[in-house]
Structure 1
Amino acid sequence: MKVTLIAGSTRPDASTTKLCQYIARLLNEKGHETEVFNLQEHILPLYGPGEAYGHEEVQKLSAAAKSADALVLATPEYHGSLSGVLKNALDFLNSDYFNNKAVLSANSAGGVVGTASLLHLQTIVRNLHGINCPEWISIGGTQREFDAEGAPVDEGAELRIRTAVASFADLAEKLNKVF
């Protein structure tokens, strides 16, 4: 199974991107193929009709999402919602990229926990005909720290991430058998 993870932060060394990389590592350990599409590296034009769809980075995003059997959307939580760059990226995609695919939503919040951005992501996923994983991941405060090997320092956060990723992989595998 191929999983595309879209890291929706523009900050170098962002905890959102580290979270995506850790999720990818867990999925790789279970034999899944992963691609982390980092929006800090892949700078997209602002969404609009017309020629923007032909932009090289939009084509890369489209290919990464289209080829995936399942998706992970990760965002920092800004002002109670997802990042502008992730929303912009999602605006370039339609239901052809999400239809009947499992989607895991994840965030990294400045406070203890941030769920508003996760609720917004799940609404977007439903509108794109994706299937939301019933689990989600929110790390905040000191839970956003990762060690030199890329693993969460906080044991509770690490367990929560592993649990959510296992649930997501199970859902994705079941959906891939059906669809």
Structure 2
Amino acid sequence: MTDQKPDMPNLVADQLHPIDHSNLFAAQPAHPVRVLMLYGSLRQRSFSRLLTEEAARILEALGAEVKLFNPKGLPLVDEDNVEHEQVQELRELSLWSEAQVWCSPERHGNMTGLMKTQIDWLPLAPIGGVRPTQGRTLALMQVCGGSQSFNTVNQMRVLGRWMRMITIPNQSSVPKAFNEFDEAGRMFPSPYYNRVVDVMEELMKFTLLTRGTAAYLVDRYSERVETSEELSKRVNMKAI
């Protein structure tokens, strides 16, 4: 039986680890920051895609390696579609990433179904022993057809937390997005553009601070206890 502290009888003492400063301040990986970017519309002139592409240029200027996922052809979430090539590509990109940017139009006061489908295809459970979202930093953006709203970024923030991501404080919401891009799809100079730069800078800073320590930051006492209990059950079963 595991020893327990007398004044904390509910605690599994050997699973409560001291804070490891060497893990908190681990060396940075040598490669550029890896950013996966998702957008939530398939329209030919998709403002969520244009905003995502503008943000990608900023990230590349800051030294990141950026990959945009094209959601065209992505099926609805169904167990029969798990092996679909688009699903596999999305999951592999999420595993590759150290940071993500989610950008959706606001539709009926919410993110689009396409945006939610992409997120829903990223499981919380591990793939090959690695969770595809846990510990990654996340930046959120939305485009609006009318006046400025924050419904979509707020809802995606809930999802980011649920997916165990480190969601940065800053965010971008671009109202009347049809007025903010030229014919070539480039964003005009404006306070909205400046905010996008702010958000990408912040994403890079948070990612550089955490990417070498992300696995340690999200290491959980409750999961260590569960793993310990499962191991004990297996050993005892073999002994029987």
TM-score, normalisation: structure 2: 0.70
Determine if contact 1:105/1:118 at 8 Å carries over to the other structure. Answer: yes
- Asked whether 1:36 is paired with 2:64, we answer no
Match of 1:65 in 2: 94
Aligned-pair CA distance for 1:150: 4.5
Cα shift readout 1:134-153 (whole Å, capped 9, x = no counterpart): 00111011575223564421
For the residues of structure 2 that align with 1:57 and 1:137, how far apart are their CA atoms? 27
Counterpart pick for 2:119 among 90, 94, 102: 90
SS at match of 1:133: strand
Counterpart pick for 1:45 among 75, 79, 91: 75
Higher Rg of the two aligned structures: 2
Gaps of 5+ in 1: none
- Asked whether 1:145 is paired with 2:174, we answer no
- Asked whether 1:122 is paired with 2:157, we answer yes
Match of 1:6 in 2: 38
Match of 1:81 in 2: 110
Match of 2:208 in 1: 173
For the residues of structure 1 that align with 2:186 and 2:210, how far apart are their CA atoms? 28
Aligned alpha-carbon RMSD (Å): 1.5
Aligned-pair CA distance for 1:45: 0.9
For the residues of structure 2 that align with 1:130 and 1:94, how far apart are their CA atoms? 12
TM-score, normalisation: structure 1: 0.92
More strand by share: 1
Match of 1:133 in 2: 168
Count of aligned residue pairs for this structure pair: 176
Match of 1:110 in 2: 145
Gaps of 5+ in 2: 1-32, 125-130, 215-240
